[in-house]
C-alpha cells in the first residue's frame, strides 16, 4: 500500500504499488477494509487490471474516517490459484510539519518569497497565500516539490505601490495541510525631496518579523545608472533617514536592504527612482505671446533656468490691476511652455495675463511680463464698415509690424490684404452696407514682435471678424423626384449666406392643407407627404422663414409644380 487519502468530498482514494509476480496469469485484486478497530474486514471491491494502482471508495468518509485497508491479489501458478496480501494501512490524517517564511524581497518590481524546507518526508509541495487588506488569506499559487522553497510572484500584486503580505502552507500526498505560516510583508520605501534643504528623505515600513536589535537597514544607491553602493545605514528600530550630500539634477535609484546579523538573512524593498531637484535661483520668465487659436487663447512662455522651479502660476484678469491666480501648471523640465485657455470669449473680451515661477519651497519667484490678446471688432460708421483693434500688449521691444489678413473664399486660404504700421489700430474695409448682399468677407490681424533679448520673434493673431451682408435665396418653381438629374429631384432653395440651422419651410396643397414641413431645410423636400406617402403631381404652395448668417430674417411665399 502506498497511501490512503480522504478528500473534501468524503471519497477515500486507495493507492498502491504493484510488484506482484504474475506467475502465469494475473486474475484480480480484492480490496478489503474495515470502518474502525471494532469492526471486521470485509471485501469492498475488485480490480481486474494488473496495471491499476488506485481504487476510489465513493463517500466512504460519510460512514467513518477510521477506515483501514489491505489488498489481496490473485494469480494462477501452474494449475493452482495463489494469492498475495499487502500491508494494512489506515487513512493518512497526519499533517506535514509547520514551516515558516524566511524572507520576502522585491526584485525588478515583483516579490520573491522564501521559506524553510518542510521536515516531513511526505511533502508534496507548498501553497502560497496573499493576505489582503482585510487580513483574508487568498491562495495565489502552488509550488510542487519538497525542496522548492521559493516563489517569484508575477501576479497583479504590486510591491512598488504598497507593502504586500504572504503566508505559506506545506501539503502532503493526501493534501493534508500544515498550519499556515506567520505573515511576512515586503519592505515598502517612499521618498520625498526637501529641495529647500537640499536633501532626500526616505521612509519605509519596518521588517518586523526579525528582532529589530538584530537588524540594520542599509540604503543602497545607484547614481546615473552606475554601480550600486551603500550610501548610508541605520539601526533596525529606524524607519526614516535624511540623505544629504546628493548631487543636484542627478538620476538616483534607491532601495532599502534589511540585514539580520544573527540569521545572516537579508531582504530588499521596492526601488524608488528620481531626479534630484534642489533649489537654485531661477532665471527669467518671458511671456512670449498670447495667440487666438480657434475660440481659445494660447499662451506661450519660456524660462532661462530649469533649476528650482516647481510649477507656474498663471494670473488672469480683464485689466492689469485685477489679475487673479487662475491656473497652476506643473514644471516638466522644458524651457518652453504652452497653455490653452478655453474659458474665454475671444470675440468680445480682452484678457490680460502674466506667469509667475513657483519654486520648490512653494514660494513665488520671478514674474513674466504682461500679455494681452488682440481683440478685433467691426465698426459701422454711417454706411461703411471699419475694423478696429487694440495693438498687442506687450513685448519687450514692441511690435515690428502688423498684417491684415482676409479670407479667399474660393481658394479657402487666408491672404495678406494690407501691411500696417505698428501703431495703427483702425482700418476701413471699403465695404458698404447696401452693396454686400450675398457677400461676406472675413479678417484677422497678425502682429509680429521685434526681436527680443531672449531670442524670440513671436507673432500674435487676433480673433476672426466677418463683414456679412444679407442672405440671398432663390426657390425653384418645378421639381421632379423621378428625374435623372440629381439637382431636379428635390425642392430646395439656393443662395448665399443662408443659416440653414435657423431656417424653416412648410408645404401646402391647393386646399390649404399642410402636407409637409421641416426645420432641416438643407435636406429639401423629396416629394413625400408627412406620412411618407408620395405626394400626387400638381401645384403646391410653400411658405419659408429664412435667416442669413448676419441674423437678418426674411419670409418667402410661392408656388411650385411637382411633376411625376
Beta bridge partners of 228: 222
CATH superfamily of the domain spanning 376-468: Immunoglobulins (2.60.40.10)
Which grid coordinates belong to 416? 495678406
CA distances from residue 256 to 186, 216, 232, 239 in whole angstroms, order as listed:
11, 10, 10, 10
CA distances from residue 99 to 124, 145, 183 in whole angstroms, order as listed:
14, 14, 12
CATH of 189-275, one of 1.10.10.60, 3.40.50.2300, 1.10.10.10, 2.60.40.10: 2.60.40.10
Sequential pLDDT tens for the chain (564 residues): 889 999 889 999 999 988 766 566 888 999 999 999 999 999 999 999 888 999 999 999 999 989 999 999 888 877 788 888 899 999 998 999 999 999 999 998 999 999 999 999 899 999 999 999 999 999 999 999 999 999 999 999 999 999 999 999 999 999 999 999 999 999 999 999 988 888 999 999 988 788 888 889 999 999 999 999 999 999 989 999 999 999 988 999 999 999 988 878 899 999 999 999 887 767 789 999 999 999 999 999 999 876 678 899 999 999 999 999 999 999 998 999 999 999 999 999 999 999 999 987 888 889 999 999 999 999 888 888 999 999 999 899 999 999 999 998 878 899 999 999 999 999 998 888 767 878 888 999 999 999 999 999 999 999 999 988 888 899 999 999 988 888 889 999 998 889 999 999 999 999 999 999 998 888 899 999 988 899 999 999 999 999 988 888 899 999 999 998
Which grid coordinates belong to 537? 403631381
How many other C-beta atoms are found inside a 10 Å radius of the C-beta of residue 505? Answer: 22
CA dist., res. 468 & res. 250, Å (int): 60
Helix and strand tally (H, E) in the chain?
0, 46
CA dist., res. 549 & res. 416, Å (int): 24
Place of cell 456679412: 468
CA dist., res. 276 & res. 261, Å (int): 32
Please tell me the class of the 289-361 domain: mainly beta
pTM above 0.85, yes or no: no
CATH of 472-562, one of 2.60.40, 3.90.380, 3.40.50, 1.10.3470: 2.60.40
Establish whether domains 189-275 and 289-361 are of one fold. yes
Which grid coordinates belong to 501? 440651422
CA-atom Rg of the chain in angstroms: 44
Which grid coordinates belong to 13? 482514494
Buried b (16+ CB within 10 A) or exposed e, 276-308: bbbbbebbebbbbbbbbeeeebbbbbbbeebbb
Terminal CA-to-CA distance of the chain, rounded, Å? 98
Residue 462: which of 431, 420, 430 has the closest Cα? 420
Question: Contact, 376 vs 390, CB < 8 A?
Answer: no
CA dist., res. 34 & res. 232, Å (int): 68
CA distances from residue 220 to 13, 142, 192, 223, 479 in whole angstroms, order as listed:
53, 32, 16, 10, 86
Question: Which CATH architecture best describes the domain 101-185?
Answer: Sandwich (2.60)
E strand intervals along 224-323: 228-235, 240-244, 251-260, 265-268, 272-275, 285-293, 296-303, 309-317
CA dist., res. 428 & res. 291, Å (int): 24
- pLDDT value of position 435: 72
Q: How many Cα neighbours within 13 Å face the side chain of 421?
A: 3
Q: What's the CATH fold of domain 3-90?
A: Immunoglobulin-like (2.60.40)
What φ, ψ does residue 275 adopt, rounded to 5°?
-110, 125
What φ, ψ does residue 486 adopt, rounded to 5°?
-55, -40
Parse the chain into domains and list their residue ranges: 3-90, 101-185, 189-275, 289-361, 376-468, 472-562
CA distances from residue 536 to 492, 507, 515, 516 in whole angstroms, order as listed:
18, 13, 11, 13
Stretch (H or E) spanning 266: strand 265-268
Could you tell me the sign of the dihedral formed by the alpha carbons of 417, 420, 425, 426, in that order?
negative
Q: How many Cα neighbours within 13 Å face the side chain of 132?
A: 7
Question: Contact, 242 vs 200, CB < 8 A?
Answer: yes
Amino acid at each position: 500500500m502506498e497511501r490512503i487519502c480522504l478528500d473534501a468530498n468524503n471519497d477515500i482514494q486507495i493507492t498502491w504499488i504493484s510488484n506482484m509476480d504474475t506467475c502465469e496469469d494475473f486474475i484480480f485484486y480484492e480490496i478489503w477494509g474495515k470502518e474502525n478497530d471494532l469492526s471486521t474486514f470485509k471485501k469492498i471491491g475488485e480490480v481486474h487490471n494488473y496495471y491499476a494502482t488506485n481504487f476510489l471508495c465513493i463517500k466512504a468518509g460519510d460512514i467513518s474516517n477510521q477506515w483501514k485497508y489491505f489488498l489481496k491479489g490473485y494469480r494462477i501458478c501452474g494449475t493452482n490459484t495463489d494469492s498475495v496480501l499487502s500491508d494494512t494501512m489506515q487513512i493518512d490524517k497526519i499533517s506535514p510539519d509547520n514551516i515558516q517564511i524566511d524572507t520576502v524581497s522585491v526584485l525588478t518590481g515583483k516579490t520573491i518569497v522564501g521559506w524553510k524546507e518542510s521536515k516531513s518526508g511526505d511533502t508534496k509541495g507548498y501553497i502560497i497565500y496573499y493576505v489582503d487588506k482585510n487580513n483574508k488569506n487568498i491562495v495565489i499559487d502552488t509550488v510542487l516539490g519538497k525542496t522548492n522553497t521559493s516563489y517569484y510572484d508575477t501576479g497583479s500584486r504590486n510591491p512598488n505601490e504598497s507593502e504586500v503580505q504572504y503566508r505559506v502552507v506545506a501539503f502532503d500526498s493526501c493534501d493534508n495541510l500544515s498550519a499556515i505560516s506567520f505573515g511576512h510583508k515586503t519592505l515598502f520605501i517612499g521618498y520625498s525631496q526637501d529641495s529647500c534643504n537640499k536633501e532626500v528623505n526616505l521612509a519605509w515600513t519596518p521588517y518586523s518579523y526579525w528582532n529589530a536589535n538584530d537588524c540594520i537597514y542599509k540604503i543602497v544607491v545607484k547614481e546615473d545608472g552606475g554601480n550600486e553602493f551603500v550610501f548610508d545605514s541605520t539601526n533596525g528600530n529606524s524607519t526614516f533617514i535624511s540623505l544629504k550630500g546628493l548631487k543636484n539634477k542627478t538620476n538616483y535609484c534607491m532601495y532599502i536592504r534589511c540585514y539580520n546579523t544573527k540569521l545572516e538573512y537579508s531582504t530588499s524593498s521596492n526601488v524608488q527612482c528620481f531626479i534630484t531637484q534642489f533649489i537654485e535661483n531661477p532665471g527669467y520668465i518671458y511671456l512670449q505671446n498670447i495667440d487666438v487659436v480657434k475660440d481659445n487663447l494660447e499662451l506661450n512662455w519660456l524660462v532661462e533656468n530649469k533649476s528650482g522651479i516647481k510649477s507656474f502660476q498663471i494670473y488672469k484678469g480683464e485689466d492689469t490691476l485685477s489679475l487673479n491666480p487662475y491656473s497652476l501648471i506643473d514644471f516638466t523640465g522644458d524651457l518652453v511652455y504652452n497653455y490653452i485657455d478655453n474659458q474665454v470669449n475671444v470675440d468680445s473680451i480682452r484678457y490680460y495675463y502674466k506667469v509667475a515661477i513657483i519654486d520648490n519651497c512653494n514660494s513665488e519667484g520671478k514674474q513674466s511680463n504682461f500679455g494681452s490678446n488682440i481683440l478685433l471688432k467691426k465698426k459701422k460708421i454711417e454706411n461703411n464698415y471699419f475694423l478696429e483693434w487694440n495693438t498687442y500688449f506687450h513685448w519687450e521691444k514692441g511690435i515690428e509690424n502688423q498684417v491684415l489678413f482676409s479670407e479667399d473664399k474660393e481658394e479657402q486660404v487666408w491672404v495678406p490684404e494690407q501691411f500696417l504700421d505698428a501703431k495703427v489700430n483702425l482700418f476701413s474695409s471699403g465695404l458698404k452696407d447696401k452693396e454686400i448682399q450675398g457677400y461676406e468677407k472675413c479678417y484677422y490681424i497678425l502682429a509680429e514682435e521685434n526681436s527680443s533679448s531672449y531670442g524670440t520673434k513671436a507673432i500674435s493673431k487676433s480673433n476672426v471678424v466677418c463683414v456679412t451682408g444679407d442672405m440671398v435665396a432663390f426657390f425653384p418653381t418645378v421639381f421632379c423626384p423621378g428625374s435623372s438629374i440629381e439637382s431636379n429631384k428635390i425642392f430646395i432653395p439656393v443662395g448665399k449666406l443662408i443659416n440653414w440651422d435657423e431656417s424653416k419651410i412648410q408645404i401646402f396643397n391647393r386646399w390649404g392643407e399642410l402636407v409637409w414641413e421641416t426645420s432641416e431645410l438643407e435636406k429639401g423636400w423629396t416629394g413625400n407627404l408627412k406620412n411618407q406617402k408620395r405626394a400626387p403631381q400638381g401645384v403646391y404652395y410653400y411658405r419659408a422663414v429664412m435667416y442669413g448668417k448676419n441674423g437678418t430674417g426674411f419670409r418667402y411665399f410661392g408656388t411650385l409644380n411637382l411633376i411625376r
